[in-house]
Structures are given as C-alpha cells and as structure tokens.
Structure 1
C-alpha cells in the first residue's frame, strides 16, 4: 500500500476510533500485527481467568499461543481431547472470565460493532459477563455503516468462515451468501428458513455501552482474519 492510500485508511481509522470512544468503548490503532501481542498482554494480569471467542484473528496475531503460556488461567475451547459437552462448559464458564478476547465481523465509522454468530457464545460473552472484552480487529473490517457491515459479512466473513469450518452451507458451495445484497426486508438476517444449515444464527449490533471502557477495540493496520 502506498503512502497516499495508507493515509486515507488512517483517516478512516481516526473517524472510527473517535466514534467508538463516543460510544463508551476504548479504541486504539496498532500499526502492525507485531504490536498486537504486547498491547494485549499489557491489558491482562498474570493469573486472571481468560477466555476467547472463535477467532482466526487471535490465532494469526499470536494471541492464542500467548494465552497458553501458563501465565493465565486460560479457558481453552480448542484444547485437544475436549468432548462436545466439555466445550459447551467452557463456553458457559467464559461468562465468569476476567477478560474475554475475540474479534468483530465489522466495525462502522459510527462506532458500532457488528457480529454474526452461529453458536453465539462469542456475542453472548461480549454482551455480558466478562469484566473486560478485548477485540483484535484488522482495519479491513472498517466499514462506513451498518448496511456495509452486513454486506461484508454476507460477501466475505461468512463464506470464508463457513469454508474454514467445512459447513454444509450455500456460501461454502458458492462463495457468497444466498441473499448477498441488503434490503429493507433482509438488512440484518436471511429470510426464515432460507439457509437451512447457516452459520449465521444471530446478528448483534453493539452501540453505546452502559459500562464505559469495558469493551476495548484494537484496530490493526494490516490484513488478517475474516
């Protein structure tokens, strides 16, 4: 990316951070992926209980590996050998975590977070429970408004995640959502029953927060995640 394009992106980041702070969320720009791990660990205390939502971003930035270092009481949903019932218990235990780490599917310039989930353990913990929520977000996920956020999920995030999860969905086979365009009728979700095996079960918008600075958004100036 040349300096002129980068400046345009940085101005978008500035607008978004200002709006996030107005919505009672903390927000910070990290220029590179290498800046993520030092920042995340500075927000965590040794020995505290930490959990994560499903996130390719946390894996790509090295956060997951750091959480497995033994420094924290990590509720590792990915631990080898866990049964389906034990994974579900990890999801429930995550509500009592000191810190919950994840990403968002899109962040609007109005300071909103947009997330679409299947099991919805991620959005549930982001909404309530953990004392602190830390989101690691590539600047590729910044969009002008909610309409663009929905488009991004339908065209990029959901198809990529469905393929990664080997899900039997329309988007896995076709590379795009069954209803790729937004309309008054399906701005937030598919029509009832339109996609029988969808991974997009619940759609959540995070706007002005009642608990100031509980949610911390780290916007990173590189491409990663979905």
Structure 2
C-alpha cells in the first residue's frame, strides 16, 4: 500500500476512535478527511451573521478556515488586523461575547483529554468560558495515546516550535525541549487540560485527516 494511503487510512481510523471517546464526554465531533472538508463543516455549523473570533493558530491558517471566516457571511473580530494595541485589547474582551470561537489544540489523547499551553492566557480563557461555542480544529498529528503523552507533546514539541515561530528568546529554541523557563518571553504560563464539554456540545471538535500546525 502506498505511503499516502497508509497515512490516510491510519489518520481516519484514529479520528474515528477520538470521535467515539470524546462524544461520550459531551463534545460534538466531526471527522473531516481533508482541509477542504473541514471548511465545509465550518460552513455547515456556523450560521450567517454569527459573531466569530479566533485564537492564535497555525492550523487555522493552514486549513484556510481563518480566510473562510474573514470572507464569509459572518461578523468577525479580527485582532490580526487591529490598528493599535488598544484595539487588540478591545477585541480580546469582545471575544468573550462571540458566538463561535475558533482555535486548535496543542495535543489531545485517545483517553479523552485535550491539552493546551498558553502564554498570555486569552485563548484558554475563551476556551473555558465566554463564547457560546468553541470550535477546535485538530490535525491527526496532534493525537497522542495518553494524557501523559499529550502533555509531553504540548510541552516538548508544540511549545518549542511555537517559540521558534514567534522568535522568542527562550532556552527551548536552542535545546528544542522545554526548560521550564521563567523569562518574560516564555509562552508557557498556563496549562489547561479539558476532559469534558460543559454544557454538552459547547466544544466542537473538527478532526482533520491531515497534518496541521505544530
């Protein structure tokens, strides 16, 4: 079997297992074999005129979902195009009243946990409370077997990669693993583990059968 077919079969099998586990925990889960199909899911679940926002995410960039939200029939809180630091702060706060907040995850596990690490905490604050719905778009490469493995992935892979992407002066850029630094440029101030969606269906997972993000 060609490599592409092997990866496709494996990623979809893993996504179906994740769907089974997380639906038991109150999440609404969609399986999208490709990024094109992930965008179709977004168009299906987000109504016209909904107020939408997002947290920092390479997955949303690579999947085209951020562009879809910008050009679609939605009202958008777009901090990336803010004209000043004051406008960014305003958008951060208005995000808590949006209808749909989009983000990805640093890792999720087959035993039913989602792991996210944040620097400032605005992304995780919106995950925990505020927006009516949270939509997480996650590539199959972020799925780990256990919570411990998901934590390790978030801490020792996703965080150093994001520190490099953001050009932060942190030890992990040199060592490529977390050094538990306490410097002002650390992007690892908050770690959140999500094991249930409350209310049921508030958090929606779109599992994509492609590698996306870090």
Q: Does 1:205 align with 2:206?
A: no
Partner residue in 2 for 1:195: 182
Partner residue in 2 for 1:78: 80
Return 5+ residue gaps in structure 2 as ranges.
none
Q: Does the aligned pair in 1 maintain the 2:60–2:137 contact within 8 Å?
A: yes
Please give the secondary structure, in 2, of the residue aligned with 1:91.
Answer: helix
Matches within 5 A, 1:3-18: 3-4=5-6, 6-18=8-20
Which of the two has greater helix per residue?
2
Please give the secondary structure, in 2, of the residue aligned with 1:78.
Answer: helix
- Equivalences, count: 211
Partner residue in 2 for 1:125: 126
Return 5+ residue gaps in structure 1 as ranges.
179-189
Distance 1:10 1:69, change over 3 A: closer
TM-score of the pair, normalised by structure 1: 0.88
Partner residue in 2 for 1:158: 159
Distance 1:57 1:7, change over 3 A: same
- Whole-angstrom distance in 2 between the partners of 1:109 and 1:152: 13
Matches within 5 A, 1:164-203: 164-178=165-179, 190=180, 194-196=181-183, 197-203=185-191
TM-score of the pair, normalised by structure 2: 0.93
- Whole-angstrom distance in 2 between the partners of 1:62 and 1:97: 20
